[in-house]
Amino acid sequence: MQEKNKLKKSMKNENDSPVNRHSTAALREEERQMREMRCLVDVTTMVIAQGNVSLFEACSLLRLTRKQVLTLFPEKEKVYDLIYRPRFARIIRERLEKSPTWMN
């Protein structure tokens, strides 16, 4: 029984090490950034898809969204272009097909 208690204490001490706390804090920060990015992309998608915005306004909104996402994840420009650029292009293309000429 004493060996189990010693093992538990040693495991607890390992989990409380500064390295693990730093890793946990970094992981939480990255998760927060991911949630912020998802929210930003989702709101941008909804505004463009459902909003009464012109093509110029949609493109401006996309530039701002991209800038903010790259502020959160500076070295992920290629990932953004691979994942989100086609998604936004599709939404704008579908929206323009359905919109009156004066909105383009």
The domain segmentation of the chain, as residue ranges, is 2-103
Residues 46/53, Cβ–Cβ less than 8 Å: no
Q: Is the model's pTM score more than 0.75?
A: no
What is the rounded average pLDDT of the residues 18-23?
A: 68
What is the rounded average pLDDT of the residues 33-43?
A: 96
List of residues 6+ apart from 14 with CB closer than 8 A: 20
Q: How many CB atoms lie within 10 A of CB 103?
A: 14
* pLDDT given at position 102: 46
What is the rounded average pLDDT of the residues 78-95?
A: 93
What is the rounded average pLDDT of the residues 82-103?
A: 82
